Amino acid sequence: EYDAGGYMPVNIGDVLKGQYKVCRKLGWGHFSTVWLCKNLFEDGPMYVALKICKSAHMFAAVAQDEIKLLQETKTTDPNHPGYKHIVQMVDTFRLLSVNGIHTAISMEIMGPSLLHILIQSDFRGIHIDGVKKIIQQVLKGLTYLHDVCKIIHTDIKPENILIKVDQNYIRSIIGKTERFTELGLEMPRSYVTADCWVDRDRELKDSDEDILAKFEEQRGQSYPYDKFLIELTSFRERHSEPRLTSPMWVSPNIEIKIADLGNACWEDHHFSNEIQTRQYRALEVILGAGYSFPADIWSTGCMAFELATGEMLFSPKGDKDPSANLDHLCLIWETLGGIPQYITETGANVRQYFHNGRLKNIPESSLRVWKIEDVLVDKYKWKRVDAIPFAGFLESLVEPDPALRFTAAMALQSEWLMSKD
Ligand code: ADP
Ligand code: MG
């Protein structure tokens, strides 16, 4: 996709706009590549994430919408308690490449996403205190987006929630990159293709020093540390599955921000009828019954369950409609113990899936009601006393009626979030 209309070809070490020196690749999406850059001027943060969009017209237009939304969140009310939980834009400009004109957005630099954390947990989930801290901050960010900016995010999911990292850690990553340049060595492939927060080898959980010791033992001779680091990186390159470089992310002081306003829209100006990533898609969106802020709350509920258990609350089979929708609706029915009949009567798609308040062509006997509280106890072996308040909280977020669903502000006041134990 590095061709006309596509991604901008970027090399490590390039200086863009005469100001941003490219250090590492951070990630990529449908629309863009994102790079860790050093700001060579003293007019802003020293490190930024630079999102460089594909150049085709369509992508440029989407980028303009994203910039408008980011501008709104940047300027409306910096003193709001949720402001610091939205990844903020620093600057925006255009870049020229052989593939065309690319919109570039520099943003405050963040660390790995919650998806990285879930992977690191081997999909077993994270401690409930961590879940509380994270969800509280997500909800604060959403009160700002919803109540103040009138923006619907439309794509709340672990991938789009990023963890704040220490500037020193960023500096150490850059240090490694610069070491390669100094030594005149070729940059490891992962620095330009893979993402910054994953390592190539599962086995290598030991510290670099420990590995050096083993390495020396094997070779029966001592080894210069600098040279060893290079070897280590290429060794990790050659090996299997990714994992996080450091377990420090799930610290008790975890701070997160909501990222990727690339799909966001205005309360009074939607860009699409079909929003959200399948597993986090709200009931009203599936039913074609219109959507607003409550759709983000539904996704937040799904995400809270996933962070706590390591598994998705709803993972419908297939991705082709209508069968995926039907399976999704069955799962929602089973998890909530039914869907009120009046909800099944409004929406562009309801006739396709419901008849007289019942799921079409699905015999009652094939549905097995299994409510969240019981799932937590039976499947995840939670104590009933812990399962009850958490399930209660989740059910207020995945409430079928968007009008009755908790708002972000209400959820922040909920008993489960306020309780400390
Ligand atoms: P797209 O709209 O193309 O999906 P995203 O904004 O989701 O682009 O960014 C793609 C990836 O880049 C993210 O999943 C994340 O890994 C990384 N990323 C994005 N913004 C930042 C940031 N501010 N700091 C660090 N990494 C980021
Ligand atoms: Mg994205």
**d(CA 48, ligand 1 centre) in Å:** 12
Which residue's CA is the nearest one to ligand 1's atom 1?
Answer: 29
The residues, any chain, with a CB within 8 Å of residue 327's CB and separated by 6 or more, are 316, 317, 318
The residues, any chain, with a CB within 8 Å of residue 316's CB and separated by 6 or more, are 278, 279, 324, 325, 327, 328, 331
What whole-number percentage of the chain has pLDDT above 70? 85
Q: Active-site residue 155, yes or no?
A: yes
ipTM attached to this prediction = 0.98
Selected residue with higher pLDDT from 165 and 332: 332
Q: Is 52 touching ligand 1 by the criterion CB < 6 Å?
A: no
Would you say 51 is a known binding-site residue? yes
Count of beta carbons in the 10 Å neighbourhood of residue 145: 29
Provide mean pLDDT across the span 362-386: 95
State pLDDT tens for residues 205-253: 456 666 666 666 666 667 676 776 776 666 555 443 334 444 455 667 8
- Strand (E) or helix (H) holding 154: none
The residues, any chain, with a CB within 8 Å of residue 184's CB and separated by 6 or more, are none
State which ligand 1 atom lies nearest to the alpha carbon of 195: 16
State pLDDT tens for residues 6-35: 899 998 889 999 999 998 888 888 889 999
Kindly give the residue spans of alpha helices, DSSP state H, lying in 122-207: 128-143, 167-182, 189-192
Q: Is 49 touching ligand 1 by the criterion CB < 6 Å?
A: yes
State pLDDT tens for residues 158-191: 999 999 988 888 887 787 777 777 777 777 766 7
**d(CA 3, ligand 2 centre) in Å:** 20
**d(CA 220, ligand 2 centre) in Å:** 47
Helix 225-238, helix 167-182: angle, nearest 10: 100
Q: Is 33 touching ligand 1 by the criterion CB < 6 Å?
A: no
Residue 210, pLDDT score: 65
pLDDT(5) > 50:
yes
pLDDT(138) > 90:
yes
DSSP structural state of residue 147: I
Which residue's CA is the nearest one to ligand 1's atom 24?
Answer: 110
State pLDDT tens for residues 254-285: 899 999 999 999 999 999 999 999 999 999 99
Provide mean pLDDT across the span 369-374: 97
**d(CA 34, ligand 1 centre) in Å:** 6
Q: Is 303 touching ligand 1 by the criterion CB < 6 Å?
A: no
pLDDT(203) > 70:
no
Of all ligands present, the nearest one to the C-alpha of 159 is 1
Model confidence, pTM: 0.87
Q: How far apart are CA 302 and CA 359, in angstroms?
A: 22
